[in-house]
Structure 1
Amino acid sequence: MFVDTSKEVRDPNVSAIAALDEPTRRRLYDHVVRRPSPVSRDEAAAALGLARQTAAFHLDRLADESLLDVVFERRSGRSGPGAGRPAKLYRRSTKQVAVNLPDRRYELAGRLLAQAVEESDATGAPVREVLHRKAQELGTHLGEQNKTEVFDLLERYGFEPRCEGDAIVLANCPFHALAREHTETVCGMNLHLLRGVLNGLDEAGLEARLAPSPGRCCVRLQPAA
């Protein structure tokens, strides 16, 4: 799941958005998503005044990028022998595509916060206590599932790690807007998330500590005492 940052990495979300920069492809995508039912190559070509081969090429490219789903249906309404081959149809994909620069992980934060509220309601445990535990459990899971160098893992998740002596400072906070408005809650969650990451990676030489600094993530990884 984590990558060698010395090599170029293909981000599927960036690739998908780049695919829509081609005008004909974007017109086809817009046409498909506006239709209430799946669209065939012939229908799309006729609607946009394109050659069928051109429409097919661009529709398949959109499907390759997971922007459209492909389904097969018999348009004749018949089945069995003589009904003909099912038509290849296209509809909007359920995949959600988003690119944030710098990297943000608000969905991850929202999931942790929702889990904490639900468990707190069910058990009576303090919300913040549950949040910290959930965050640390998630961090541990990420570390265990992705055995790699801590620097590479942090890079993958958008923390933009930088070496500062024996410590690692984080130039980007993936929860920036939330941390700015709800500092104590979000920074505490982030601290326990990164403690879990170190635990999952068996990284005993570093510890995560709160060390707020302008323009940086509130957490700093420094040599363990």
Structure 2
Amino acid sequence: MSTAGGRRRDVLAVLREADEALSIAAIAERLEVHANTVRFHLDALLEAGQVERAVVQPAKPGRPPQLFVATRAMDPAGPRAYRLLAETLVDSVARSGDPVTHASASGKAMGAQLGRPRQAAAQDEPVGQLVELLDELGFAPEAQGARIGLRHCPFLELAQVHPEVVCPVHLGLMQGAMEEWEAPVTVDKLTPFVEPDLCVAHLTGVSS
């Protein structure tokens, strides 16, 4: 018995192999399934952008049948390998002559970009805005005076292999946001893994 995902792939495969647009009845006949089954999967494929309705001129009076074709594009619902890409890029930076400087600069650029929409709010509460930003990125931050504890690393596996790249990116990200906000507070350093589940960002300029 075919699963829903498997049947959906079957419908898409029939359309990709066809030389012309097909009706629901034609697809159902080729797959030997009920038309309602085809209609159900076509709705999902249309929503995912993998299938589109064909525009045809009716050959005779009356309502023409709906015809469908496979979208000629890469499958937007296909598998992803972002971790492999991240590993490749991190390894490339690690092999450079000065990985810390390169990683820090990249982090600062990203921090400035991410911090820009928060610039107005950050004028009064830069530390609070930084904590919110870090929380959105998955760091599970905990503000503690002149320190921000980070209870989670979104790039843990990469940080364990190449801390000389990933940790400067994180530090640069925080510094870049603060610089974008022209905040009186700066992130002086990041101490990774002071505990198995804790990294600490150290702030300067925080009023007591």
Q: Classify the secondary structure of the residue corresponding to 1:211.
A: strand
Is 1:138 aligned to residue 110 of structure 2? yes
Q: How far off is 1:192 after superposition?
A: 0.8
Map of 1:1-225 to 2, 5 A cutoff?
Answer: 24-32=3-11, 37=16, 41-42=24-25, 44-46=27-29, 49-64=32-47, 66=48, 68-73=49-54, 82=59, 87-90=67-70, 93-95=75-77, 106=83, 109=86, 113=90, 126-145=98-117, 149-165=129-145, 167-205=147-185, 207=187, 209-212=189-192, 213-216=194-197, 218-220=199-201, 222=203, 224=205
Q: How far off is 1:169 after superposition?
A: 1.5
Q: Counterparts of 2:17 and 2:138 in 1: how far apart (Å)?
A: 37
Structure 2 unaligned blocks of 5 or more: 122-128
In structure 2, what residue type is equivalent to 1:194?
M
Report the CA distance shift for 1:88/1:190 in structure 2 as closer, same or farther (over 3 A).
same
Q: Counterparts of 2:116 and 2:84 in 1: how far apart (Å)?
A: 21
Q: How far off is 1:128 after superposition?
A: 3.9
Q: Classify the secondary structure of the residue corresponding to 1:185.
A: helix
Contact 1:106/1:174 (<8 A) preserved: no
Report the CA distance shift for 1:202/1:49 in structure 2 as closer, same or farther (over 3 A).
farther
For these two proteins, the number of residue pairs brought into alignment is: 186
Q: Please identify, of 146-155 and 39-48, the stretch whose mean Cα deviation from structure 2 is larger.
A: 39-48
Contact 1:109/1:175 (<8 A) preserved: no
Q: CA RMSD in A?
A: 4.2
Larger Rg: 2
Q: Counterparts of 1:187 and 1:86 in 2: how far apart (Å)?
A: 55
Q: TM-score scaled to structure 2, two decimals? A: 0.63
What is the percent sequence identity of the aligned residues? 23
Q: How far off is 1:176 after superposition?
A: 0.7
Q: Classify the secondary structure of the residue corresponding to 2:195.
A: coil
Q: TM-score scaled to structure 1, two decimals? A: 0.59
Q: Classify the secondary structure of the residue corresponding to 2:153.
A: coil
Report the CA distance shift for 1:109/1:47 in structure 2 as closer, same or farther (over 3 A).
same
Q: How far off is 1:143 after superposition?
A: 1.0
Q: Deviations over 1:99-154 (max 9, x none)?
A: xxxxxx8478558648969xx7xxxx845423321221111111114556333322
